[in-house]
Amino acid sequence: MDTQAAHDILKHHLKSSGKLRITAERFAILDAVLQTKGHFDVEALYYRLITGGVRVSKATVYNTLELLQECGLVSKYRFAENMSRYEKAFGRPQHHHLICLSCGDIIEFVNDKLELIKDDVCAEQEFVPQSTTLQIFGTCSKCTKKG
C-alpha cells in the first residue's frame, strides 16, 4: 500500500476545501488507520493514538475520520450496534459484510454477481454509483454449530 498516495489524497482534499488546515495530527490519524487491519471504532483508534504518543483530542479523531470518509480513504458502517465502525478503504477491493448477531463476527466477502446486479440496476435507472455496501445479518456457522 502506498502511504504517500493516501497522504497526497488527503492533502489535496484539505487544500481544495480552502478552509481546512493541513496538520500533523490529521496525518497521524491517517497513518494509524492505514496500519489497522479490519474494522475499528473511534474509541479503539483514539486509545491507540494516545498510547502511541500522539497528542490528539477525540473530537479531532471524529472530525478527521469524517474527512477521510469524504475523500474515499475510509468507509463508515453501522453493524446493528449503537456505534459506527470504520475500515480503511484505500487500496482495498469493493466488498460486503456478513454480520453475526450472536457473536458479533464480521465476515467480509466479494461476489462478482452482486457487482453485475449493481451495474444492471444503475444502468436501468441511469444512476451513477459512488459506493456500494451490502450487509447481511444472521448467524455465523460457528454459532449455528453451538446450537
> Vertex 13, ends 74 and 65: CA angle to 5°?
30
Question: Does the pLDDT of residue 28 top 90, yes or no?
Answer: yes
Domain ranges in the chain are 3-88, 96-146
Q: What is the pLDDT of residue 1?
A: 56
| CATH architecture of the domain with range 3-88 | Orthogonal Bundle (1.10)
Under the banding of pLDDT at 50, 70 and 90, the label for residue 59 is very high
Same fold, 3-88 and 96-146: no
CATH number of 96-146: 3.30.1490.190
Distance CA 86, CA 37 (A): 11
**pTM for this entry:** 0.75
